[in-house]
Structure 1
Amino acid sequence: MKLDRRTVLTGATAALAAPILSALPVQPARADARRQALVDSSLDAARKILEGKDYPDAPRYMEGARGVLIVPELVQGGLIFGLAGGRGTLMARSAPRDWSPPAFYAMGSGSFGLQIGAKVSEVVFIIKTEKGLKAILDHRFKFGAQAGVALAIVGIGVEGATTAAVGADIIAFASSLGLFAGASLEGSYLDPDNDWNALYYGSGADTRAIVLDRRFTNPGAEPIRQFMAKW
Protein backbone atom coordinates (compact mmCIF):
# COMPACT_ATOMS: atom_id res chain seq x y z
CA MET A 1 0.00 0.00 0.00
CA LYS A 2 1.39 3.36 -1.01
CA LEU A 3 1.10 6.25 1.47
CA ASP A 4 1.24 9.80 0.23
CA ARG A 5 3.52 12.34 1.87
CA ARG A 6 0.68 14.16 3.65
CA THR A 7 -0.46 10.95 5.39
CA VAL A 8 3.07 10.25 6.64
CA LEU A 9 3.48 13.80 7.93
CA THR A 10 0.11 13.72 9.69
CA GLY A 11 0.99 10.47 11.46
CA ALA A 12 4.39 11.77 12.50
CA THR A 13 2.91 15.01 13.81
CA ALA A 14 0.35 13.11 15.89
CA ALA A 15 3.06 10.87 17.34
CA LEU A 16 5.13 13.89 18.38
CA ALA A 17 2.14 15.73 19.83
CA ALA A 18 0.81 12.81 21.91
CA PRO A 19 3.31 13.03 24.83
CA ILE A 20 2.94 16.83 24.92
CA LEU A 21 -0.86 16.67 25.06
CA SER A 22 -0.79 13.97 27.74
CA ALA A 23 1.32 16.21 29.97
CA LEU A 24 -1.11 19.13 29.82
CA PRO A 25 -3.61 19.63 32.67
CA VAL A 26 -6.92 17.94 31.98
CA GLN A 27 -9.90 20.28 31.73
CA PRO A 28 -13.21 19.29 33.37
CA ALA A 29 -15.90 17.82 31.14
CA ARG A 30 -18.56 20.23 32.40
CA ALA A 31 -19.32 22.80 35.06
CA ASP A 32 -20.52 21.34 38.34
CA ALA A 33 -22.63 23.59 40.56
CA ARG A 34 -22.54 21.55 43.77
CA ARG A 35 -18.79 21.08 43.81
CA GLN A 36 -18.26 24.70 42.77
CA ALA A 37 -20.42 25.87 45.68
CA LEU A 38 -18.09 24.04 48.10
CA VAL A 39 -15.02 25.61 46.49
CA ASP A 40 -16.62 29.06 46.77
CA SER A 41 -17.63 28.44 50.40
CA SER A 42 -14.06 27.32 51.16
CA LEU A 43 -12.80 30.62 49.80
CA ASP A 44 -15.24 32.54 52.02
CA ALA A 45 -14.16 30.56 55.11
CA ALA A 46 -10.47 31.08 54.31
CA ARG A 47 -11.01 34.83 53.98
CA LYS A 48 -12.88 34.97 57.29
CA ILE A 49 -10.23 33.12 59.27
CA LEU A 50 -7.00 34.11 57.53
CA GLU A 51 -7.92 37.80 57.18
CA GLY A 52 -10.42 38.26 60.03
CA LYS A 53 -9.59 40.39 63.06
CA ASP A 54 -10.60 37.53 65.38
CA TYR A 55 -7.71 35.36 64.21
CA PRO A 56 -4.59 37.56 64.27
CA ASP A 57 -2.21 34.58 64.55
CA ALA A 58 -3.52 32.73 61.49
CA PRO A 59 -1.44 34.57 58.85
CA ARG A 60 1.71 33.96 60.87
CA TYR A 61 1.11 30.22 60.87
CA MET A 62 0.69 30.28 57.10
CA GLU A 63 4.38 31.09 56.73
CA GLY A 64 6.02 27.99 55.32
CA ALA A 65 2.83 25.91 55.52
CA ARG A 66 2.70 22.86 53.26
CA GLY A 67 -1.06 22.88 52.86
CA VAL A 68 -4.48 23.90 54.07
CA LEU A 69 -7.68 21.95 54.56
CA ILE A 70 -10.77 24.16 54.66
CA VAL A 71 -14.12 22.88 55.99
CA PRO A 72 -16.63 25.71 55.47
CA GLU A 73 -19.47 23.95 57.33
CA LEU A 74 -18.70 21.40 60.03
CA VAL A 75 -22.04 20.52 61.61
CA GLN A 76 -22.25 19.01 65.07
CA GLY A 77 -25.42 18.49 67.07
CA GLY A 78 -28.08 16.27 68.47
CA LEU A 79 -29.05 15.07 71.93
CA ILE A 80 -27.13 12.35 73.80
CA PHE A 81 -25.41 11.13 70.66
CA GLY A 82 -23.71 13.81 68.64
CA LEU A 83 -22.64 13.45 65.05
CA ALA A 84 -20.29 15.77 63.25
CA GLY A 85 -19.78 15.98 59.54
CA GLY A 86 -18.91 18.17 56.64
CA ARG A 87 -17.03 18.47 53.40
CA GLY A 88 -13.88 20.38 52.69
CA THR A 89 -11.11 21.12 50.25
CA LEU A 90 -7.39 20.36 50.49
CA MET A 91 -4.73 22.49 48.80
CA ALA A 92 -0.97 21.98 48.85
CA ARG A 93 1.82 24.48 48.30
CA SER A 94 4.85 23.45 46.26
CA ALA A 95 6.61 26.84 46.32
CA PRO A 96 5.99 30.32 47.76
CA ARG A 97 2.64 31.64 46.46
CA ASP A 98 2.13 28.53 44.32
CA TRP A 99 -0.90 26.56 45.49
CA SER A 100 -2.53 23.55 43.89
CA PRO A 101 -6.18 23.39 42.87
CA PRO A 102 -8.42 22.11 45.69
CA ALA A 103 -9.16 18.41 46.13
CA PHE A 104 -12.34 17.31 47.92
CA TYR A 105 -12.49 15.66 51.33
CA ALA A 106 -15.24 14.38 53.63
CA MET A 107 -14.96 14.85 57.39
CA GLY A 108 -16.96 13.09 60.06
CA SER A 109 -16.99 11.77 63.62
CA GLY A 110 -19.25 10.51 66.36
CA SER A 111 -19.15 11.59 69.99
CA PHE A 112 -21.18 10.80 73.09
CA GLY A 113 -22.36 13.49 75.46
CA LEU A 114 -25.15 15.97 76.01
CA GLN A 115 -25.34 18.43 73.14
CA ILE A 116 -28.25 20.81 72.84
CA GLY A 117 -28.96 21.99 69.33
CA ALA A 118 -26.66 21.97 66.35
CA LYS A 119 -23.44 23.92 65.97
CA VAL A 120 -21.99 24.93 62.63
CA SER A 121 -18.34 25.88 62.44
CA GLU A 122 -15.95 27.01 59.76
CA VAL A 123 -12.60 25.30 60.27
CA VAL A 124 -9.27 25.95 58.58
CA PHE A 125 -6.55 23.40 59.21
CA ILE A 126 -3.11 24.82 58.49
CA ILE A 127 -0.78 21.95 57.65
CA LYS A 128 2.68 23.05 58.73
CA THR A 129 4.83 20.02 57.97
CA GLU A 130 5.46 17.52 55.20
CA LYS A 131 4.66 14.79 57.73
CA GLY A 132 1.22 16.28 58.35
CA LEU A 133 0.45 16.59 54.64
CA LYS A 134 1.67 13.07 53.91
CA ALA A 135 -0.49 11.64 56.69
CA ILE A 136 -3.62 13.20 55.19
CA LEU A 137 -2.72 12.16 51.64
CA ASP A 138 -1.66 8.58 52.35
CA HIS A 139 -4.85 7.14 53.83
CA ARG A 140 -7.88 7.94 55.96
CA PHE A 141 -6.64 10.42 58.53
CA LYS A 142 -7.96 10.17 62.09
CA PHE A 143 -7.24 12.98 64.52
CA GLY A 144 -5.58 11.75 67.68
CA ALA A 145 -4.80 8.34 66.21
CA GLN A 146 -2.08 9.13 63.66
CA ALA A 147 1.23 8.30 65.27
CA GLY A 148 3.65 11.20 65.36
CA VAL A 149 1.23 13.79 63.94
CA ALA A 150 0.54 16.59 66.45
CA LEU A 151 -2.65 18.69 66.26
CA ALA A 152 -3.00 22.08 67.96
CA ILE A 153 -6.17 24.16 68.28
CA VAL A 154 -5.88 27.94 68.05
CA GLY A 155 -8.86 30.24 68.25
CA ILE A 156 -10.88 32.76 70.18
CA GLY A 157 -10.73 32.15 73.91
CA VAL A 158 -8.39 29.14 73.72
CA GLU A 159 -5.77 30.00 76.33
CA GLY A 160 -2.21 28.87 75.77
CA ALA A 161 -2.94 28.00 72.18
CA THR A 162 0.06 29.85 70.78
CA THR A 163 2.44 27.86 72.97
CA ALA A 164 0.68 24.59 72.17
CA ALA A 165 0.97 25.25 68.44
CA VAL A 166 4.77 25.41 68.52
CA GLY A 167 6.02 22.31 66.74
CA ALA A 168 2.54 21.11 65.76
CA ASP A 169 2.11 19.45 62.38
CA ILE A 170 -1.47 20.67 61.92
CA ILE A 171 -3.05 23.76 63.49
CA ALA A 172 -6.85 24.14 63.54
CA PHE A 173 -8.68 27.48 63.56
CA ALA A 174 -12.46 27.39 64.05
CA SER A 175 -15.12 30.07 63.94
CA SER A 176 -17.18 28.46 66.74
CA LEU A 177 -15.94 27.70 70.23
CA GLY A 178 -18.86 25.33 70.61
CA LEU A 179 -17.09 22.83 68.39
CA PHE A 180 -14.30 22.51 70.92
CA ALA A 181 -16.38 23.02 74.08
CA GLY A 182 -18.90 20.29 73.22
CA ALA A 183 -16.51 17.76 71.76
CA SER A 184 -12.94 17.93 70.55
CA LEU A 185 -11.68 16.84 67.16
CA GLU A 186 -10.27 13.67 68.69
CA GLY A 187 -11.60 10.72 66.72
CA SER A 188 -12.71 12.80 63.74
CA TYR A 189 -11.61 11.46 60.38
CA LEU A 190 -10.81 12.80 56.94
CA ASP A 191 -11.41 10.83 53.76
CA PRO A 192 -10.54 11.87 50.20
CA ASP A 193 -13.63 12.08 48.02
CA ASN A 194 -12.47 10.99 44.60
CA ASP A 195 -16.03 10.72 43.31
CA TRP A 196 -16.38 14.47 43.83
CA ASN A 197 -12.91 15.03 42.38
CA ALA A 198 -13.88 13.23 39.18
CA LEU A 199 -17.15 15.14 38.89
CA TYR A 200 -15.37 18.48 39.21
CA TYR A 201 -12.15 17.83 37.29
CA GLY A 202 -12.90 14.93 35.00
CA SER A 203 -12.39 11.17 34.80
CA GLY A 204 -9.32 9.87 36.61
CA ALA A 205 -8.91 12.83 38.95
CA ASP A 206 -7.79 11.83 42.43
CA THR A 207 -6.26 13.74 45.32
CA ARG A 208 -2.61 13.13 44.46
CA ALA A 209 -3.10 13.90 40.77
CA ILE A 210 -4.71 17.22 41.73
CA VAL A 211 -2.62 18.54 44.63
CA LEU A 212 0.77 16.95 43.95
CA ASP A 213 1.02 16.14 40.24
CA ARG A 214 -1.11 19.13 39.14
CA ARG A 215 -2.56 17.06 36.30
CA PHE A 216 -6.06 18.52 36.58
CA THR A 217 -7.47 22.01 36.69
CA ASN A 218 -10.79 23.81 36.68
CA PRO A 219 -11.34 27.54 35.98
CA GLY A 220 -13.70 27.69 38.96
CA ALA A 221 -10.77 26.98 41.29
CA GLU A 222 -8.75 30.01 40.20
CA PRO A 223 -10.25 32.53 42.69
CA ILE A 224 -9.26 30.43 45.72
CA ARG A 225 -5.82 29.76 44.25
CA GLN A 226 -5.30 33.50 43.71
CA PHE A 227 -6.39 34.22 47.27
CA MET A 228 -4.02 31.62 48.71
CA ALA A 229 -1.19 33.09 46.61
CA LYS A 230 -0.96 35.85 49.22
CA TRP A 231 0.98 33.36 51.32
Structure 2
Amino acid sequence: MHTRRSLLLTAAAGSSIALLGLATPNATALAATSDQGLVDEARITVQDFTGDTQFTDMRRKLARAKGVFIVPQLLKASFIIGGEGGSGVLLAKTQTGWSEPAIYTMGAGSIGLQIGGEASEVMLLLMSDKAVEAILRNEFKLGADASVAAGPVGAGIEAATTTNLGADILSYSKVKGLAAGISIEGAVISARHSRNAAYYGKQAHPRAILYENAVSNRGTLELRQALAAAEMP
Protein backbone atom coordinates (compact mmCIF):
# COMPACT_ATOMS: atom_id res chain seq x y z
CA MET A 1 0.00 0.00 0.00
CA HIS A 2 2.73 2.46 0.94
CA THR A 3 4.71 1.66 -2.20
CA ARG A 4 1.61 2.45 -4.26
CA ARG A 5 1.14 5.67 -2.31
CA SER A 6 4.74 6.73 -2.94
CA LEU A 7 4.39 6.08 -6.66
CA LEU A 8 1.11 7.99 -6.86
CA LEU A 9 2.41 10.97 -4.93
CA THR A 10 5.71 11.05 -6.83
CA ALA A 11 3.77 11.07 -10.10
CA ALA A 12 1.47 13.78 -8.78
CA ALA A 13 4.38 15.92 -7.65
CA GLY A 14 6.12 15.48 -11.00
CA SER A 15 2.98 16.47 -12.87
CA SER A 16 2.58 19.60 -10.73
CA ILE A 17 6.17 20.70 -11.39
CA ALA A 18 5.84 20.07 -15.12
CA LEU A 19 2.65 22.11 -15.24
CA LEU A 20 4.11 25.29 -13.77
CA GLY A 21 3.57 28.16 -16.16
CA LEU A 22 1.33 26.19 -18.51
CA ALA A 23 -2.20 27.30 -19.27
CA THR A 24 -3.34 24.92 -21.98
CA PRO A 25 -6.48 22.76 -21.68
CA ASN A 26 -4.29 19.64 -21.64
CA ALA A 27 -2.25 21.06 -18.74
CA THR A 28 -5.44 21.78 -16.82
CA ALA A 29 -6.64 18.23 -17.36
CA LEU A 30 -3.32 16.80 -16.17
CA ALA A 31 -3.40 19.00 -13.07
CA ALA A 32 -6.88 17.76 -12.23
CA THR A 33 -5.69 14.16 -12.64
CA SER A 34 -2.71 14.65 -10.31
CA ASP A 35 -4.95 16.19 -7.66
CA GLN A 36 -7.37 13.29 -7.94
CA GLY A 37 -4.38 11.25 -6.80
CA LEU A 38 -4.09 13.53 -3.76
CA VAL A 39 -7.79 13.05 -2.94
CA ASP A 40 -7.44 9.28 -3.30
CA GLU A 41 -4.37 9.23 -1.04
CA ALA A 42 -6.24 11.32 1.55
CA ARG A 43 -8.90 8.62 1.61
CA ILE A 44 -6.24 5.94 2.14
CA THR A 45 -4.79 8.01 4.98
CA VAL A 46 -8.19 8.19 6.69
CA GLN A 47 -8.51 4.43 6.39
CA ASP A 48 -4.95 3.92 7.70
CA PHE A 49 -5.75 5.89 10.84
CA THR A 50 -9.21 4.56 11.49
CA GLY A 51 -8.17 0.94 10.97
CA ASP A 52 -5.52 1.32 13.69
CA THR A 53 -6.65 0.67 17.29
CA GLN A 54 -4.12 3.22 18.52
CA PHE A 55 -6.37 5.93 17.08
CA THR A 56 -9.72 4.96 18.58
CA ASP A 57 -9.82 8.25 20.46
CA MET A 58 -9.24 10.12 17.21
CA ARG A 59 -12.39 8.54 15.80
CA ARG A 60 -14.40 9.82 18.77
CA LYS A 61 -12.92 13.28 18.33
CA LEU A 62 -13.67 13.16 14.60
CA ALA A 63 -17.37 12.72 15.39
CA ARG A 64 -17.28 16.10 17.18
CA ALA A 65 -14.92 17.90 14.81
CA LYS A 66 -15.98 20.90 12.74
CA GLY A 67 -13.50 20.06 10.02
CA VAL A 68 -10.41 18.06 9.11
CA PHE A 69 -7.17 18.69 7.25
CA ILE A 70 -5.50 15.59 5.79
CA VAL A 71 -1.90 15.43 4.54
CA PRO A 72 -1.14 12.00 3.05
CA GLN A 73 2.60 12.61 2.97
CA LEU A 74 4.35 15.33 4.97
CA LEU A 75 7.97 15.19 3.88
CA LYS A 76 10.94 16.13 6.03
CA ALA A 77 14.41 15.71 4.60
CA SER A 78 17.47 17.60 5.71
CA PHE A 79 21.11 17.90 6.49
CA ILE A 80 21.89 21.01 8.58
CA ILE A 81 19.05 22.94 6.91
CA GLY A 82 15.71 21.22 7.20
CA GLY A 83 12.30 21.75 5.78
CA GLU A 84 8.99 20.00 5.69
CA GLY A 85 5.89 20.24 3.63
CA GLY A 86 3.15 18.50 1.74
CA SER A 87 -0.15 18.90 -0.03
CA GLY A 88 -3.40 18.21 1.74
CA VAL A 89 -7.16 18.60 1.62
CA LEU A 90 -9.47 20.54 3.91
CA LEU A 91 -13.06 19.42 4.53
CA ALA A 92 -15.76 20.85 6.76
CA LYS A 93 -18.62 19.10 8.48
CA THR A 94 -21.91 20.56 7.29
CA GLN A 95 -25.56 19.84 7.95
CA THR A 96 -25.55 17.35 5.07
CA GLY A 97 -22.28 15.63 5.98
CA TRP A 98 -18.67 16.11 4.97
CA SER A 99 -18.09 18.80 2.36
CA GLU A 100 -16.18 18.68 -0.87
CA PRO A 101 -12.43 19.04 -0.20
CA ALA A 102 -10.36 22.14 -0.90
CA ILE A 103 -6.69 21.69 -1.79
CA TYR A 104 -4.06 23.32 0.43
CA THR A 105 -0.35 22.97 1.15
CA MET A 106 1.34 22.86 4.54
CA GLY A 107 4.96 23.89 4.85
CA ALA A 108 7.52 24.86 7.47
CA GLY A 109 11.25 25.38 7.62
CA SER A 110 13.81 24.85 10.34
CA ILE A 111 17.54 25.08 10.87
CA GLY A 112 19.31 22.56 13.06
CA LEU A 113 21.45 19.46 13.15
CA GLN A 114 19.13 17.19 11.26
CA ILE A 115 20.29 14.21 9.25
CA GLY A 116 18.09 11.90 7.23
CA GLY A 117 14.51 12.16 6.15
CA GLU A 118 11.07 10.95 7.03
CA ALA A 119 7.56 11.01 5.65
CA SER A 120 4.53 11.31 7.89
CA GLU A 121 0.80 10.92 7.40
CA VAL A 122 -0.98 13.72 9.23
CA MET A 123 -4.57 14.40 10.19
CA LEU A 124 -5.53 17.65 11.89
CA LEU A 125 -8.94 17.62 13.55
CA LEU A 126 -10.44 21.09 13.67
CA MET A 127 -12.44 21.12 16.88
CA SER A 128 -13.83 24.65 16.68
CA ASP A 129 -15.40 26.96 14.11
CA LYS A 130 -12.52 29.33 14.88
CA ALA A 131 -10.03 26.77 13.55
CA VAL A 132 -11.92 26.26 10.28
CA GLU A 133 -12.35 30.00 9.80
CA ALA A 134 -8.65 30.61 10.43
CA ILE A 135 -7.60 28.14 7.73
CA LEU A 136 -10.10 29.63 5.29
CA ARG A 137 -8.08 32.81 5.33
CA ASN A 138 -5.45 32.98 2.61
CA GLU A 139 -2.63 31.94 4.94
CA PHE A 140 -2.83 30.30 8.35
CA LYS A 141 -0.06 29.64 10.89
CA LEU A 142 -0.49 26.74 13.29
CA GLY A 143 -0.15 27.77 16.90
CA ALA A 144 -0.42 31.48 16.12
CA ASP A 145 -3.91 31.72 14.60
CA ALA A 146 -5.39 28.78 16.54
CA SER A 147 -4.11 26.58 19.35
CA VAL A 148 -2.83 23.13 18.42
CA ALA A 149 -2.17 20.08 20.60
CA ALA A 150 -1.05 16.51 19.96
CA GLY A 151 -4.01 14.16 20.03
CA PRO A 152 -3.68 11.37 22.61
CA VAL A 153 -2.71 7.97 21.21
CA GLY A 154 -2.66 4.45 22.63
CA ALA A 155 -4.04 2.64 25.65
CA GLY A 156 -5.30 4.59 28.63
CA ILE A 157 -5.80 7.72 26.58
CA GLU A 158 -9.12 8.72 28.13
CA ALA A 159 -7.37 10.13 31.18
CA ALA A 160 -5.14 12.28 29.00
CA THR A 161 -7.87 13.92 26.96
CA THR A 162 -8.53 16.63 29.53
CA THR A 163 -5.25 18.31 28.59
CA ASN A 164 -6.62 18.88 25.07
CA LEU A 165 -10.07 20.19 25.88
CA GLY A 166 -9.14 23.78 25.06
CA ALA A 167 -7.27 23.07 21.82
CA ASP A 168 -8.75 24.31 18.57
CA ILE A 169 -6.81 21.70 16.58
CA LEU A 170 -5.75 18.16 17.49
CA SER A 171 -2.81 16.75 15.55
CA TYR A 172 -2.38 13.04 14.79
CA SER A 173 0.52 11.62 12.80
CA LYS A 174 2.02 8.33 11.71
CA VAL A 175 5.54 7.59 10.47
CA LYS A 176 6.02 4.29 8.63
CA GLY A 177 2.70 3.08 9.99
CA LEU A 178 3.50 3.87 13.63
CA ALA A 179 2.01 6.60 15.78
CA ALA A 180 4.45 9.50 16.06
CA GLY A 181 4.52 12.97 17.51
CA ILE A 182 5.85 15.53 15.07
CA SER A 183 6.14 19.23 15.70
CA ILE A 184 3.89 21.28 13.44
CA GLU A 185 3.84 24.47 15.51
CA GLY A 186 4.55 27.35 13.17
CA ALA A 187 3.67 25.42 10.01
CA VAL A 188 1.84 27.52 7.43
CA ILE A 189 -1.25 26.23 5.62
CA SER A 190 -2.06 27.99 2.34
CA ALA A 191 -4.88 27.56 -0.17
CA ARG A 192 -3.97 26.45 -3.69
CA HIS A 193 -6.54 28.35 -5.73
CA SER A 194 -5.21 27.30 -9.16
CA ARG A 195 -5.26 23.61 -8.22
CA ASN A 196 -8.81 23.88 -6.88
CA ALA A 197 -9.88 25.55 -10.13
CA ALA A 198 -8.24 22.81 -12.20
CA TYR A 199 -9.75 20.03 -10.11
CA TYR A 200 -13.31 21.39 -10.08
CA GLY A 201 -13.29 22.97 -13.52
CA LYS A 202 -13.91 26.53 -12.35
CA GLN A 203 -12.74 29.10 -9.84
CA ALA A 204 -14.18 28.84 -6.35
CA HIS A 205 -12.91 30.13 -3.02
CA PRO A 206 -12.35 27.38 -0.42
CA ARG A 207 -15.27 28.79 1.61
CA ALA A 208 -17.56 28.30 -1.39
CA ILE A 209 -16.21 24.78 -1.90
CA LEU A 210 -16.81 23.80 1.73
CA TYR A 211 -20.04 25.58 2.58
CA GLU A 212 -21.81 26.82 -0.55
CA ASN A 213 -21.86 23.74 -2.81
CA ALA A 214 -20.34 25.93 -5.50
CA VAL A 215 -18.51 23.02 -7.14
CA SER A 216 -18.43 19.24 -7.04
CA ASN A 217 -16.37 16.34 -8.33
CA ARG A 218 -17.49 12.70 -8.27
CA GLY A 219 -13.93 11.73 -7.42
CA THR A 220 -14.36 13.01 -3.85
CA LEU A 221 -17.20 10.64 -2.90
CA GLU A 222 -15.06 7.83 -1.49
CA LEU A 223 -13.05 10.24 0.67
CA ARG A 224 -16.21 11.76 2.14
CA GLN A 225 -17.68 8.31 2.72
CA ALA A 226 -14.48 7.16 4.46
CA LEU A 227 -14.66 10.11 6.85
CA ALA A 228 -18.32 9.46 7.64
CA ALA A 229 -17.56 5.77 8.28
CA ALA A 230 -14.61 6.65 10.51
CA GLU A 231 -16.65 8.62 13.04
CA MET A 232 -17.19 6.83 16.33
CA PRO A 233 -19.76 8.02 18.93
TM-score by length of 1: 0.79
Q: Do the aligned partners of residues 196 and 115 (structure 1) sit closer, same or farther apart at CA in structure 2, a change above 3 Å counting?
A: same
Structure 1: runs of 5+ lacking an equivalent: 1-28
Report how many aligned residue pairs link the two structures.
197
Give the partner amino acid of 2:226: F
Shift of 1:87: 0.2
Deviates more, 1:48-57 or 1:85-94: 48-57
Deviations 1:7-40 (A, max 9, x none): xxxxxxxxxxxxxxxxxxxxxx958320000000
| Cα pair 2:57 2:153 within 8 Å, conserved | no
Name the SS for the 1:117 alignment partner: strand
Structural mapping, 1:33-72, within 5 Å: 33-72=33-72
Name the SS for the 2:133 alignment partner: helix
Higher helix share: 2
| Cα pair 2:148 2:185 within 8 Å, conserved | no
Deviations 1:168-219 (A, max 9, x none): 1110100036662xxx212110000011100100121221121111110001
Q: Do the aligned partners of residues 120 and 161 (structure 1) sit closer, same or farther apart at CA in structure 2, a change above 3 Å counting?
A: farther
Give the partner amino acid of 2:87: R
Name the SS for the 1:168 alignment partner: coil
TM-score by length of 2: 0.78
Give the partner amino acid of 2:126: I
Corresponding position of 1:9: none
Determine the C-alpha separation between the residues in 2 that align with 1:145 and 1:190.
12
Corresponding position of 1:7: none
Give the partner amino acid of 2:185: E
| Cα pair 2:69 2:125 within 8 Å, conserved | yes
Corresponding position of 2:109: 110
Structure 2: runs of 5+ lacking an equivalent: 1-27
Give the partner amino acid of 1:99: W
Query: What's the RMSD between the two structures over aligned residues?
Result: 2.2
Structure number with larger C-alpha Rg: 1
Structural mapping, 1:1-231, within 5 Å: 32-95=32-95, 98-146=97-145, 149-154=146-151, 156=153, 162-176=161-175, 180=182, 184-230=183-229, 231=231
Determine the C-alpha separation between the residues in 2 that align with 1:186 and 1:50.
24
Corresponding position of 2:15: none
